[in-house]
Each structure stands twice: as C-alpha cells, then as structure tokens.
C-alpha cells in the first residue's frame, strides 16, 4: 500500500447519531439560505461554505460505525441533502457526489477503506468526474492502463460536480480487464486539470465543468473495481438517485417558502393564489413522502442479512418513481412562483428566477420519461431498471424476475 497517514484535524466536529446530524445540518442551512441569492448572482465559488461543511462533520455521516463514523441511515442522508437543498440546491449537489464516493468505498479492501474513512472523518471531500459527453449510453472512453506500481489514467469528463474543491476526485474508467472501475485521484495530481467552464443558467455554483486526465498515475490501492452483483450495484445507483430526488424536494420547498414570504411582505392579494398554492404544497408533500419511502426501502435492502434481487429492484423502482415526481414538481413550482407572485417578483433582487433555473437544469440529470418507463417496465414485465454496467444488466435480465419470484412464492403456499 502506497498510502500515507492523514492526521485528524481538531476543528472537525464528530457527530454521533441521526439527531446530532440533523441539528448540525439545520444550523448550516439557516445561514446558507440567507446568502443564497447573492452567492448565485455573483457566481462565487462556495469555498467558505464547503469549508464549513467539512468542519461540521456532516461529510462523515455515512462512514460505518465500525470505522468510527455515525453510519446514519439512507433516510437520514436524504433528509440532510433535502435540508441543504432548501438552503441552496447547488450546495446540496456537491455533497451528493461526495456521499457516492463514500458508498463506493464499501467495495474496497479493509485497509483501503480505513485509510479513506480516516481522511473523511478528518474533513476530506470527494468530487465527481464520472459522466462523459457524446457517445452511447454506458459507453466509456476514459481508460486505465497498466504501468509500474499502478495505472495510468486518461480521459475527459464533464458534469464534474464538486471536483473543483475536492480533496479526491472520483473518476469512472474502463479497467484493462474490461470491467468498470472507480478511481480515486488526489487533488493536485500531475495531469489532472479541472476547468471552470460551467456556463449554464442553473445550478451555477456546482461548477460542474470539464475535468481532463492526461497520463495521471494512480496506485493500485486507489482503483475500486465495480465487480459487485447486479443487486448490489443497482442498490448503489439507487442511493445516488434518491439523494438527487431529496435535493429537488428541498429546492421545491424553498421556492414555496419564498412565494409565501413575498406575498406577506408585498401586500399582494393572495386570495386568487390559495387554490394553486394549496395544490403545489400537496405536490411537494407527495414528493417528499415518496422520497422517504424510497430511502426506507434502500435501508431495508441494505440491512437485510442477504441482499436479494427482489429487495434491490423494489428499492430501485421506488427511487425511479421518487425521482420522476420530484423533478416534475420542482420545475412546475419554479414556474408557478413567478406566475403567481406577479411582475414585481421579477426583480433580480428577489432571485425568484433561480428556482425554475435550478430545477430545470437539475431535472436534466436523467430524462423523466426514462424513470416512468423503468417503473412501468418493472410493473408489467418484472424487468429492473438499467444500472451502470450493461453486462450486469444483461445478467440481471436473464435471471428470474421479482414478479415471477412472487408468483412462485404464492403458488407454493
């Protein structure tokens, strides 16, 4: 192992349970929401906010108890991201990718896990460099090549949320053996170049631009192979997606809160808004409930003595439903806020336009029609949602479907 010891930092808080976690994130979110409009208008890299996030101990909440962390549930993780999403959806998107990096460590050998868990407990952050532009779905051009003492990494990534301010950049790449790997690259590595070319009208502060990797050396210990079962890899994907859904619910709640506050301070007659606002609030409540359901199903599958395909697929489909509903709700409410509040609300000083812009950009993370198609395909044919690895998807499709399993169980009783 070519890993060095990372000393703990006294300024990093250590959170012990779900209650402490929720108290800590609520305190941060209150401060961040107050400055969200100005921060976005200035397109300021949220360096101070990310430092506060590290110091709060929130980045370590999914570190397992056996390795010194609180090991909170998926439900609590989703709540944390929802609360940050209420304050600022761009800020919520950055830790979303960090927590996926922490989840990926569950595939690693114990020594590697301990090294990175210790770093996370000391405040280290993961960023993401997974997605690529162009090509077919699942096509990966970033590659690993064998070299003395490890591998050389080459490729170009886009939508690299959190990479700019991360201590470690999580990169997806094709292993020389042909399977998909997750590679952990330390910030400042020779050949690692992270650009700020994120020139979009929403989710501006994620700085999810281009990351280029040119002959970047990585030791073998930093390469995690995606060689888990289809059920386990599918559950990992479900975790990533339910956090996105929670983020969008928080953003929707923020838009509604701004609408209510504007109506109160502007003196605008809200009688004609009551029906619409009531409908919107109900939609948000429904989206929040279905996100809770999906996160609970992930917890059920994760904590099962034996992870079955049925448990994993049920959780994955619940996440598809939650993501579709939360994305649709976010875009609808972002549009309704400006429409209902009227022309005065269009002043830049209010920043109401950011709600629609953020939700519209975030909703394109996955086309909503895919989510509904996946849910329908599962209900009608028992075919689970596609994961990250087409080979695993083919293997999953060839096995007995969950619907057939349920029918077999029913006929045997």
Q: Which residue has tokens 């010891």?
A: 5
Cβ atoms within 10 Å, residue 227: 15
Nearest to 353 by CA among 364, 365, 341: 341
- Mean pLDDT along residues 245-266: 88
Q: Which residue has the tokens 């305190």?
A: 27
Query: Residue 388 pLDDT more than 50?
Result: no
Burial class (CB in 10 A: 0-12, 13-18, 19+), 259: buried
- Between the ranges 116-120, 132-136, 344-348, where is the mean pLDDT highest? 116-120
**Per-residue model confidence (pLDDT) at position 139:** 74
Whose CA is closest to 84, among 243, 247, 242?
247
What pLDDT, on a 0 to 100 scale, did the predictor assign at position 104? 92
Of the two residues 349 and 194, the one the predictor is more confident about is 194
Share of the chain above pLDDT 70, in %: 87
Region 304-333 average pLDDT: 92
CA separation for the pair 117, 196 (Å, rounded): 28
Q: Report the range out of 36-50, 164-178, 269-283 with the highest average pLDDT.
A: 164-178
Tell me if the domain spanning 143-225 has CATH number 2.40.110.10. Answer: yes
The predicted structure's pLDDT at residue 404: 54
CATH class of 18-125: mainly alpha
* pLDDT score recorded for residue 391: 37
pLDDT at 110 over 50: yes
pLDDT reading at 120 higher than 90: yes
CA distance 183 to 216: 11
Kindly tell me if the per-residue pLDDT of 272 is higher than 70. no
Looking at residue 408, what is its pLDDT?
53
| pLDDT of 245 | 95
Residue-range domain boundaries for the chain? 18-125, 143-225, 230-406
DSSP string of 327-377?
Answer: HHHHHHHHHHHHHHH-GGGGSTTT-THHHHHHHHHHHTTS-HHHHHHHHHH
Instruction: Tell me how far apart the alpha carbons of residues 411 and 191 are, in angstroms, rounded to a whole number.
Output: 60
Q: Where are the alpha helices (DSSP H) in 35-87?
A: 36-42, 47-56, 74-87
Distance separating alpha carbons of residues 145 and 195, to the nearest angstrom: 24
| Alpha-carbon radius of gyration of the chain | 21
* Of 63-72, 95-104, 356-365, 389-398, minimum mean pLDDT range: 389-398
Contacts 24+ apart (CB under 8 A), 38-41: 39/88, 39/205, 40/88, 40/90, 40/204, 40/205, 40/351, 40/354, 41/348, 41/351
Residue range 125-150: mean pLDDT, rounded: 86
CATH of domain 230-406: 1.20.140.10
State pLDDT tens for residues 367-383: 777 888 888 888 898 88
- For the cut 80, the answer to whether the pLDDT of residue 260 exceeds it is yes
* Confidence at 9, pLDDT banded by 50, 70, 90: very low
The owner of tokens 């009551």 is 274
Confidence of residue 353 (pLDDT cuts 50, 70, 90): confident
Tell me, what's the pLDDT at 8? 41
Structure confidence by residue, pLDDT tens digits, 211-245: 999 999 999 999 998 766 788 888 888 999 999 99
> What backbone torsions phi and psi does residue 145 show, to the nearest 5 degrees?
-130, 135
Q: How many helices (H) and strands (E) does the chain have?
A: 13, 8
Q: Minimum mean pLDDT among 202-206, 313-317, 325-329, 353-357: which range? A: 202-206
Tokens of 409: 């169980």
């Amino acid at each position: 192992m070519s890993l060095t010891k990372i000393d703990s930092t006294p300024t990093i808080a250590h959170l012990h349970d779900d209650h402490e976690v929720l108290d800590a994130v609520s305190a941060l979110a209150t401060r961040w929401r107050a400055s969200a409009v100005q921060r976005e208008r200035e397109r300021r890299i949220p360096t101070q906010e990310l430092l506060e996030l590290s110091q709060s101990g929130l980045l370590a909440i999914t570190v397992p108890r056996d390795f010194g962390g609180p090991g909170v549930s998926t439900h609590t993780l989703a709540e944390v991201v929802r609360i940050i999403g209420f304050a600022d959806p761009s800020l919520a998107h950055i830790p979303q990718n960090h927590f996926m990096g922490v989840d990926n460590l569950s595939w690693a050998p114990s020594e590697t896990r301990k090294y990175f868990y210790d770093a996370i407990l000391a405040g280290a952050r993961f960023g993401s460099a997974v997605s690529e532009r162009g090509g077919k779905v699942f096509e990966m051009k970033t590659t690993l090549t064998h070299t003395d003492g490890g591998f050389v990494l080459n490729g170009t990534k886009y939508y690299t949320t959190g990479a700019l301010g991360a201590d470690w950049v999580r990169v997806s790449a094709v292993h020389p053996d042909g399977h998909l790997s997750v590679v952990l690259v330390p910030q400042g590595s020779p050949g690692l170049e992270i650009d700020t070319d994120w020139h979009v009208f929403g989710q501006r502060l994620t700085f999810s631009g281009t990351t280029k990797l040119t002959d970047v050396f990585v030791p073998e210990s930093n390469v995690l192979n995606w060689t888990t079962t289809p059920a386990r890899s599918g559950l990992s994907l479900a975790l990533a997606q339910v956090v996105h859904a929670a983020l969008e619910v928080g953003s929707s709640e923020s838009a509604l809160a701004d609408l209510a506050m504007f109506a109160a301070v502007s003196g605008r007659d809200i009688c004609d808004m009551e029906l619409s606002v009531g409908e919107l609030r109900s939609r948000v409540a429904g989206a929040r409930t279905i996100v809770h359901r999906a996160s609970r199903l992930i917890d059920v599958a994760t904590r099962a003595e034996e992870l079955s395909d049925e448990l994993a697929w049920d959780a994955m489909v619940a996440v598809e439903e939650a993501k579709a509903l939360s994305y649709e709700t976010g875009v609808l409410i972002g549009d309704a806020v400006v429409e209902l509040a009227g022309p005065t609300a269009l002043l830049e000083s209010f920043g109401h336009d950011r709600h629609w812009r953020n939700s519209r950009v975030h909703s394109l993370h996955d086309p909503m029609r895919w989510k509904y198609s996946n849910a329908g395909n599962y209900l009608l044919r028992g075919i689970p949602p596609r994961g990250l690895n087409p080979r695993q998807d083919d293997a999953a499709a060839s096995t007995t479907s969950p619907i057939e399993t349920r029918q077999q169980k029913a006929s045997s009783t």
